[in-house]
């Protein structure tokens, strides 16, 4: 942010245009752009050394920006937009370290096996020095190609188990009804 002000302005302009397309007036978008430019010219220039010392691995982005944005009450709209952006990108877990990776992976339709698989992939990607240089072996490709078939088989097994449970429960209900009579 401190060293690439022009890139920041371009990115903020794109964000502002996106917000304008989503029911935010152009005047509000222009006011937001002005606040951001003023923030870059005054606050960023004043605290450039502190901004360069930001460590995304240990510092929380929301707390860090809060220090600089809320020093001036005029940055209130800018801070609201920054909060929205942090919430939107929250699932990436690099934006804010205060949230658990497991919570960012959660979805209603994921089962325990899916959590374990995603966790393994996430940890491997984080521990890899260069994820783009990962060698993909033939065995790995075969496993990926057969994963859909394994998934379908797993679903069929789950249906069979569910059907067996339902049939056992219906038998138990019938037996209970007979004993009641």
Q: Is 90 exceeded by the pLDDT of residue 114?
A: no
53-88 pLDDT tens trace: 877 777 777 777 777 777 777 777 777 777 777 765
Q: Is 80 exceeded by the pLDDT of residue 148?
A: yes
Residues 12 and 85 in one domain: yes
Q: Say if CB 47 and CB 40 are below 8 A apart.
A: no
Q: Is 60 exceeded by the pLDDT of residue 96?
A: no
Into how many domains does the chain fold? 2
Where is the domain boundary, 59, 76, 91? 91
Range of the domain at 155: 141-180
Q: Say if CB 61 and CB 95 are below 8 A apart.
A: yes
28-40 pLDDT tens trace: 777 878 888 887 7
Q: How far apart are alpha carbons 67 and 90 in whole angstroms?
A: 20
In this structure, what is the dihedral angle of CA atoms 66, 82, 103, 126, given to the nearest 10 degrees? -90
**How confident is residue 105, by pLDDT bands cut at 50, 70 and 90?**
very low
Where is the domain boundary, 63, 91, 119? 91
At residue 163, the 3 state secondary structure works out as helix
Is 106 part of any domain?
no
Where is the domain boundary, 91, 125, 149? 91
Is 153 part of any domain?
yes
Q: Say if CB 44 and CB 1 are below 8 A apart.
A: yes
């Amino acid at each position: 942010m401190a060293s690439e002000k022009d890139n920041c302005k371009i990115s903020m302009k794109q964000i502002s245009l996106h917000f304008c397309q989503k029911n935010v007036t152009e005047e509000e978008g222009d006011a937001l752009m002005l606040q951001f430019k003023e923030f870059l010219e005054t606050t960023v220039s004043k605290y450039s050394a502190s901004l360069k010392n930001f460590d995304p691995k240990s510092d929380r982005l929301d707390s860090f920006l809060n220090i600089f944005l809320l020093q001036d009450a005029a940055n209130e709209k800018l801070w609201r937009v920054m909060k929205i952006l942090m919430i939107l990108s929250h699932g990436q877990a690099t934006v804010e370290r205060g949230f658990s990776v497991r919570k960012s992976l959660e979805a209603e339709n994921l089962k325990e096996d899916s959590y374990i698989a995603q966790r393994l992939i996430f940890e491997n990607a984080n521990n890899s020095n260069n994820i783009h240089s990962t060698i993909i072996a033939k065995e790995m490709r075969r496993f990926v190609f057969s994963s859909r078939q394994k998934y379908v088989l797993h679903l069929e097994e789950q249906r069979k188990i569910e059907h067996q449970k339902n049939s056992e429960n219906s038998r138990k209900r019938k037996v209970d009804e007979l004993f009641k009579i």
